[in-house]
Amino acid sequence: MRIDSFTKAALTAIVILLAVMALRPYIAPDVAQAQGALTGMQFAATPVGYSFFDARTGELWEYSGTGLVKKYRINKPGQPLVKE
């Protein structure tokens, strides 16, 4: 049985393209990004409740077991918190 040059070229192209597809995640991996509603939020548990900080807006919320206690905003790093 004799394989013609077209068949060899087609099989070679298939092998090369499959190798490129298989190696792509190792050469240029996709970047994982979390884009949920709580992206950028930081959480801290304290003895009296919980605190949440939104790094995008500079807002800080303090909660106790009964609900929201205080809400602050950081306008500029190093400046005092502004109570809202």
Domain layout of the chain by residue ranges: 41-83
Half-sphere exposure of 38 (CA within 13 A, CB side): 5
How high is the pLDDT of residue 22? 94
Distance CA 80, CA 73 (A): 9
pTM: 0.51
Q: Is residue 37's pLDDT more than 80?
A: no
How high is the pLDDT of residue 34? 67
Is residue 71 within 8 A of residue 83, CB to CB? The reply is yes
How high is the pLDDT of residue 68? 87
